[in-house]
Structure 1
Amino acid sequence: MNFRPIVAGLALSLLSGAAFAQTAAATGADAALTGPGITMGTAATIPLRYVNIQDTDLMTSKLIGIDIYNKQNEEIGEISDVVIGDGKSVIGIVASVGGFLGIGESYVVLDPASIALAEVNGTWKANVDTTKDDLSNAPKLDYSKMKK
């Protein structure tokens, strides 16, 4: 069996991963949603780097609880959590929808690329292109199981 194609493919994938790991960290509002990522495990494989953040950057601690609005400026949900896939990058934003005072609400996971964050009069808002009904009918997340 010829192992050259396998070894070449493995080397290429390792080199592309190293090149990706060396990309510059995001700045501005995107810095809270993208970046170099976190590697799960006991051994760090990438040299430690530091990131400068700006006053305009949004920390995830301030992201939780932000109201979500549609194009008609109707409040249709609230950001409840941030999902980090494989310990590397943000893959989803958990939104609570429906309900009243925490009763009857459900949770959906939104693609971070489909959310626009903006500061309006000192308050952060999340904007999405959907209706309240569509968001309420989206696939649900059993959030109670994920909090453990």
Structure 2
Amino acid sequence: MKLFPIVAATVFSLSASAALAQEAAATGADATLAGPGLTMGKAATMPLKYVNIQDSDLVVSKLIGVDLYNKNDETIGEISDVVIGGGKSVIGVVASVGGFLGVGESYVVLDPASIALAEEDGAWKAYVDTTKDDLTKAPKLDYSKLKK
């Protein structure tokens, strides 16, 4: 079984999303990214880079919906979202816990470093060192209070 930190899997997959935030099309060897707080030609811009992903890398679209398991291989939640801090890097993984068929579930944000990913028989699993009860008692994320 291969275990990967979630950060490595998601950082590569999110690098392409930065291009969507561009204010103007950048081309050529001197292209720079522009987004919130960054403008073309300012010192805060960074050079455009390309990334090669490997077969073992995981894109976020495949991560959403992956079940969370504890050390006893019991299902204790599901990954429902990924949090990007300041538009730059993954700072949290949102897990849905509790409830039944989407009713009564709540959301908690986990540190990406506390999650291990494993591919088993072609399917991904996420492992955390906690119990379902402790996860249910964790501080809740209220989606309605997030900026749109």
**TM-score tier after normalising by the smaller chain length:** 0.7 to 0.9
Rounded to whole Å, the distance in 2 between the matches of 1:136 and 1:79 is 14
Q: Which amino acid aligns with 1:32?
A: A
Alpha-carbon distance, 1:147 to partner: 7.6
Q: Is residue 2:37 matched to residue 1:41?
A: yes
Report what 2:103 is aligned to.
Answer: 103
In structure 2, list runs of 5 or more residues that go unmatched.
Answer: 19-34
Q: Deviations over 1:25-73 (max 9, x none)?
A: xxx9754333696563352511101000011110000000000000000
TM-score, reference length from structure 1: 0.74
Q: Is residue 2:81 matched to residue 1:81?
A: yes
Alignment of 1:1-148 (within 5 A): 30-34=7-11, 38=18, 40-43=36-39, 45-146=45-146, 148=148
The CA RMSD over aligned residues, in Å, is 2.2
Contact 1:29 1:57 in 2 (8 A): no
Structure with more helix by fraction: 1
> How many pairs are equivalent?
121
Task: Give me the identity figure in percent.
Answer: 72
Distance change >3 Å, CA 123–CA 147, structure 1 → 2: farther
In structure 1, list runs of 5 or more residues that go unmatched.
Answer: 1-27
Report what 1:17 is aligned to.
Answer: none
Highest RCO, 1 vs 2 (Cα 8 Å, sep ≥ 6): 2
Distance change >3 Å, CA 84–CA 29, structure 1 → 2: closer
Which structure has the larger Rg over C-alpha atoms?
A: 1
Contact 1:29 1:56 in 2 (8 A): no
> Aligned to 1:119, what secondary structure does the other structure show?
strand
* Runs of 4+ with deviation above 4 angstroms: 35-39
TM-score, reference length from structure 2: 0.74
